[in-house]
Amino acid sequence: MVSNSEAQAQDRARSYRNLQHAGDAASANTDYDSHETTTRIHALFRERFGSDAREWQVDVTEALLLGLDYFIIVGTGGGRTMPFMMPMMRSYEQIHHPFSFENSSIGSGK
């Protein structure tokens, strides 16, 4: 029998594999760069809120931008609203949305 902590670790590993696969697929079809995207999300959070985002918040924001389904359980005041708000705080071009690359300046640092 698998313990709760083992099951959670397996679920977490599967989630990160899914995120990695989605990022790889976006990279293969566009100029998407996961590192650049998460760096921009971190910077935007610091700029808007004056503090650092939690890693899971950045991961969920990236999953949203990649079109993945996700489910989070966080207590009151835990910051679960942030992943939903980040894409709305800037245009998709500034956040580096992987599916809006018709604009040639996206991903080129312009």
Q: Any idea where the domains of the chain sit in the sequence?
A: 34-103
pTM of the full structure: 0.75
Give 46-98 pLDDT, tens digit per residue: 988 889 999 999 999 999 888 898 888 888 888 888 888 887 776 555 555 55
The DSSP secondary structure of 59-103, one letter per residue, reads HHHHHHHTT--------TTS-TTHHHHHHHHS-HHHHT-TT-TTS
In the chain, % helix, strand, coil (3-state, to 5) comes to 60, 0, 40
| Spatial separation of the C-alpha atoms in residues 19 and 16, rounded to whole Å | 5
For the record, the structure tokens of 8 come out as: 């959670």
